[in-house]
Chain A
Amino acid sequence: MTHKGTKTFIAQRGTAVLMLPLVMWFLYSVVANAGASHEEVRAWLAGPLNAALMAALIVIGCVHMRIGLNEIIDDYIDGGSRGVVKLLNLFACLGAALLALFSLFTLAA
């Protein structure tokens, strides 16, 4: 994980910029779907544009939060456990992204 500082720095800013419009869409969507029934939510998430935006929000968000938590781990965890905790961080972010993608594909099918 060494000698990747510049790449990580740029990735964190790139994902941050991509998240700006996605977060605005998400906040609007949360209000628009407040109190929606299961069928309404299914139909909404099955729409290609909504599915793509939700996938982008979660996947890009997971990349961003993995880098962010890695930075916190670097600051507070020393020694041998650092690598293990970073691996757990990767699994959590990968797991959330894959769960969402799998679910969105299921809804679209």
Chain B
Amino acid sequence: MASDMATARPTAPPTSLPPRPTAPHLQIWRWTITMASSITHRATGVALYSGTIVLAIWVFAAAQGGETFAKVAGFLASPLGVFILAGYCWALIFHTLNGLRHLYWDTGRGFDLKTATATAWATYAASVVLAAIVVFAGLSARGAL
């Protein structure tokens, strides 16, 4: 690039180029629900990455002795553990439902503003309701409620 500019303006070649401008995306765009759902899809994806590793560790602990399992299960049953599991549960449901949106988009449909906005709101609402049902059912089955 520098040599191109030098040949285009032979009289005054820049000694050093100014830093390239970067898009100030998060600071400047007005937040929309479609933008939020896109960011949330990515954020929940990263959260589920850790969740899958925790799940693998849980399976490993089950295969080990009762002591190892008691440690892992004990942590997951603590208030912090339940908070993490509830968040994991919502992230899994949100990412799955929003994944359905992505698969629908892959068919070339659902891109118009009205539909995309409606499905974004529906995904948030349904994910919260379904996650609440699963967490409530889990805590009831455990006898914690």
Contact = CB atoms under 8 A, between A and B. Distances in A.
Contacts of A1: none
B141 A32 contact: yes
Nearest to A66: B49
B52 A35 contact: no
Interface residues of B, number: 36
Contacts, number: 96
A23 interface: yes
A96 B103 contact: no
B96 A19 contact: yes
Nearest to A89: B49
Interface stretch (B7-15, B26-34, B53-61, B111-119): B53-61
B63 A65 contact: no
7 contacts: A13-B106, A17-B103, A20-B100, A26-B92, A31-B137, A45-B59, A68-B45
Interface of B: 42, 45-46, 48-49, 52-53, 55-57, 59-60, 62-63, 66, 69-70, 73, 77, 89, 92-93, 96, 99-100, 102-103, 106, 134, 137-139, 141-144
Interface of A: 13, 16-17, 19-20, 23, 26-27, 30-32, 34-35, 38, 41-42, 45, 54, 58, 61-62, 65, 68-69, 72, 92, 96-97, 99-100, 102-104, 106-107
8 residue pairs, one from A and one from B, having the closest CB atoms:
A35-B142, A103-B63, A96-B56, A34-B138, A34-B141, A100-B56, A34-B142, A106-B63
